[in-house]
Chains A and B, each alone.
Chain A
Amino acid sequence: MTPGVLGDVGLVLAVFFSVVGLVAALFAWFLRDARYVRVARRSALLAFLGTLVAFGALEWALLTDDFSILYTARNHTSASPTWVKFATLWAALEGSILLWALLQTLYTWLAGRRMRDYWTSPVALGTLFVIQLFFLVNVLFVINPFTPVPNPPADGPGPNPLLQNHWMMAVHPILMYLGFVGLSVPFAYAIAAMVTRRYQTWVAETKWWLIFAWGFLTAAIFAGGWWSYEVLGWGGYWAWDPVENASFIPWLLATAFVHTAMVQERRGLFRSWNFALVTLAFAATVFGTFLTRSGVIESVHAFAGGPVGPIFLGFLLAILTVGFALLGRVSAEVRDVGSVSIWSREGLLLSGALVFVVMAFVVILGTLFPLLVEAFNGAKVSVGAPFFNQLFVPLGYAMLVLMALGPVLPWRRAHSETLRVVVWMTIALVLGTAVGLAVGWTLWVSLTVGLFLFNLVALGWLVWNPIARRSRALGGARSGISALAWSRRRYGGYLVHFAAALAALAIAFSQSYRLDVQKTLEIGESWRVAGRTITVHALRAVEEPHRYSVIADVEVSGLGTLHPRLNYYRTSRTPFASPAVAYTLGKDYYLVLQAFDQKDARWVTLRLVVTPLVLWLWVSAVLMVIGTAMILWPASRRSQSAARAGEVGV
């Protein structure tokens, strides 16, 4: 048995059991026989195990330096450290689609286990089987990583050096795929709801999966930002690069859907729109893969280069066709009834969703516009970060206003008590902005400070009010604080909102007050800059098995010694800079070794980037993940009943 054979066997088994599962789901649906649902569920487990075997086989080949299959021969080297060998599985196209297939089969199995409704579950399971078959068939027949190599090389080129430069490579792609693939579950529930004409309840049934996927997408986007900050050496965390945009579009649409789903759950409104949103959010994950894997971004003419572009484009069109064809029938049948005041929670939730949809529209537009112009007109246009930044400023402000007001206002209609809170919030907004302007910050930064306080007052009231009310009712602050326990989910949501406001603050400051400067220093020379003294103490070289590094020891006064380095990999002529960052609560000091004296090692050229408040972006990411976990964590039976009892009063 070789890894190549084992991998193919695993994939064949996975495809076989996916087909069995799909057929069983179809039988269950057409024969109206629930026993077949059980068959489908078991096949889902077997298909997952088959894919796991294939995944294990590829890891086996990587960890044992077996170069007899295509994937390792092209993307692996025996010189890599063990963790890089492990993560090389998703360092190139074939392996990452295999990882995607693995996670898809895992989700199908787990989602199947939770399906209780024998009417909708055949359709939902069937949809998930179709999706996983798409990936499995592709891995098996089109881009098979286990294709044998006639003359196995003694060693391969190894993965892209930029990927070996940071451990985040082992984490970020998995988070991203967990988020992408997770959106397939709400999509499958939506298809089932449309087919079985049960238009209302699917949103509540699928909410847990939606927020689960959303949490991973959020974590992945922030992790990607931090990775880029730590590795790419320009001191930024977000460049509006097409690859980043491709991951941002599903997040924006999923965020819109999280909010409109609440409106449907509570008021039975927006039902057809929610089908459209979830279809678009899931389609956006495939669109992202198409965009980044087909080569279409580099040039519209690269599209025909590989088989992956047309295949993913076909899959994308199939998803949209099925989703919107069913939606055509739904919109003829669904008659939402109910008046919505803009000055109510549902009014603001819908406005917030509108903001996120427009944001998604802007990102799609800015990413595709240069391609469309080039394809139809032959002209070349650049749509870069300044475009996105300028448009996201007003949209971001709208988001900050709505996300503070939404949770404060009650459903249906505002009453006078909430109006008083809004007055206090507005006072905080005006004061914050005024103080910001007085300090000398720009208008935009001052406004963000004001809006941050606007959110803070709202959240403070939301947290404090129920505690105070319960304390009054039950007599004693302790029982009031125990109120926190029974509405953990709500507080999870508030925490996510707080983190978003904090992130907005961090983004405003770091985008507005960034300092870039480059200087050549002799060894031992000191440089006064940005309120610090920077001294270069030494320049040294370090030899490692897979790379050769030149490291500068640079002291930043008050912050210790940093070690920016240049890494030389065997496969690349040019070195890769590894920046060094001194993180502080205020400003980050970010050093890149740009060049050094190769003859006498007498000078180094350093690039210094000083950016305020970046650290808080990573803090807000952690808070968002904690908040999401608070929402997702299953409630204990006792607090569930307590929550129900508590809900009545609120």
Chain B
Amino acid sequence: MRRGLLALALVLGLAAAQTVGNEPPPDLSPQVFEIAKKLRCPVCRGESAAESNAGVTEEMRRQIAEMLAEGKSEDEIIQYFVDRYTEWILYEPPKRGLGLVVWLAPVIGLGLFGLGLYSYLKTTARRAKELEGVSDEELARVEAELEEGEAT
């Protein structure tokens, strides 16, 4: 199943691990990757800017490292990318507007599925009770009639 992803990766030139020219890529601290993980790779699918090897994401990681060196905070860095790419660049959908829908839907789904299960179990329990109730009454009546029959 992975083949589809790999084929796409190829098409998009995602595997551009080697930089052009002969300059070594910058050293990147763990913090760079922590921030890059919160941004999406603009040209791939299913990969964050920390994971992808596309040229764009190498550039993004370089920018993050530079901004960290300038003393910018994580929020400022993320804001910089949001300004450039819109909120689409955030790997986690924002919890408002259209993004809120996708966050609330699982809760609603859990509620609906749970309610379905609950009402199903209510129904089967009610049926069980009804059956028991009927059989008790029937049993009593039949026993009474049998006793009467024996008495006569």
Interfacial residues, chain A to chain B (CB-CB below 8 A):
90-92, 96, 160-163, 172-173, 176, 220, 224, 227-228, 232-234, 236, 239-244, 246-247, 269-270, 273, 288, 292-293, 297-298, 335-340, 350-351, 354, 357-358, 361-362, 365-366, 369, 373, 377, 379-387, 390-391, 515-520, 566, 572-577, 593-599, 603, 605, 607
Known contacts A236-B51, A338-B128, A384-B40; A365/B106 CB under 8 A = yes
Contact, CB under 8 Å: B98 / A381: yes
Nearest to B61 among chain A residues (CB) is A518
What's the tally of chain B residues with a CB closer than 8 Å to chain A? 67
The answer to whether A173 touches B3, judged by C-beta atoms less than 8 angstroms apart, is: yes
Known A-B contacts A273-B120, A337-B131, A373-B98; the reply to A381 vs B93 at CB < 8 A is: yes
Could you name 5 residue pairs across A and B whose Cβ atoms are closer than 8 Å? A228-B2, A240-B46, A365-B105, A377-B98, A384-B91
B60 at the binding interface (Cβ < 8 Å): no
Does B24 contact A384, Cβ atoms closer than 8 Å?
no
19 extra A-B contacts, CB within 8 A, seeds A241-B46, A247-B1: A160-B6, A161-B10, A224-B2, A239-B47, A239-B51, A240-B46, A270-B120, A288-B1, A297-B45, A338-B124, A338-B128, A382-B91, A384-B40, A384-B91, A384-B92, A386-B37, A391-B106, A574-B15, A574-B16
Instruction: Give A595 to B18 CA distance when docked, in angstroms.
Output: 5
Report the separation of the CA atoms of residues A336 and B117 in the bound assembly, to the nearest whole angstrom.
13
A519 to chain B, nearest CB (A): 5
The 3 A-B pairs with the shortest beta carbon distances in the complex, nearest first, are A241-B46, A516-B33, A384-B91
Indicate which residue in A269, A293, A339, A383 contacts B93 across the interface (CB closer than 8 Å).
Answer: A383
Q: Are A575 and B17 in contact (CB under 8 A)?
A: yes
Considering the chains assembled together, what is the distance between the CA atoms of A574 and B106 in angstroms?
Answer: 41
The A interface, classified by DSSP as helix, strand, loop or mixed, is: mixed
- Chain B, residue nearest A172 (CB): B2
Contacts A292-B1, A357-B113 hold; do A574 and B18 have CB atoms under 8 A apart? Answer: yes
Q: Is the CB of B46 within 8 A of A242?
A: yes
C-alpha gap A519/B61 in the complex (Å) = 13
A595 touches B19 (CB 8 A): yes
A173-B1 contact in complex given A339-B124, A365-B106, C-beta closer than 8 Å: yes
Main secondary structure of the interface of B (DSSP, over half): helix
Q: Say which residue of A92, A163, A520, A575 sits within 8 Å of B18 (CB atoms).
A: A575
Give the Cβ gap from B74 to chain A, nearest Cβ, in Å.
Answer: 14
Interface: B142 (CB within 8 A): no
Q: Is the CB of A381 within 8 A of B99?
A: yes
Cβ-neighbour of A163 out of B3, B28, B109 (below 8 A): B3
Across the interface, do A358 and B109 meet the contact criterion of CB distance under 8 Å? yes
Q: With A173-B1, A357-B113, A387-B92 as known contacts, state yes or no: A239 contacts B46, CB within 8 Å.
A: yes
Q: Which residues of A contact B149 (CB under 8 A)?
A: none
Contact call B29/A517, Cβ cutoff below 8 A:
yes
- Complex contact B124–A365 (CB within 8 A): no
Q: How far is the CA of A176 from the CA of B46 in the complex (A)?
A: 20
Q: Which residues from B are CB-within-8-Å of A242?
A: 5, 45-46
Residue among B3, B16, B128 with the highest chain A CB neighbour number at 10 A: B3
The distance in angstroms between the C-alpha atoms of A616 and B38, with both chains bound, is 27
Q: How many angstroms from the CA of A338 to the CA of B130 in the assembled complex? A: 10
Contact indicator B53/A383 (Cβ below 8 Å): no
Q: Determine the chain B residues whose CB is within 8 A of the CB of A240 once the complex forms.
A: 46
Q: Closest CB-CB distance, B107 to chain A, in whole Å? A: 9
Known pairs A391-B106, A517-B28; A340 contacts B124 (CB<8 A)? yes
Q: Once the chains bind, are A385 and B17 in contact (CB under 8 Å)?
A: no
CB < 8 Å neighbour of B48 from A243, A366, A384: A384
Distance A361 CA – B34 CA, assembled complex (angstroms): 28
- Whole-angstrom distance between the alpha carbons of A575 and B18 in the complex? 7
Question: By the criterion CB–CB under 8 Å, are A603 and B117 in contact?
Answer: no
Q: Mark B54-77, 1 if CB is under 8 A from A, else 0.
A: 000000010000000000000000
Contact at A224–B117, with CB atoms within 8 Å?
Answer: no
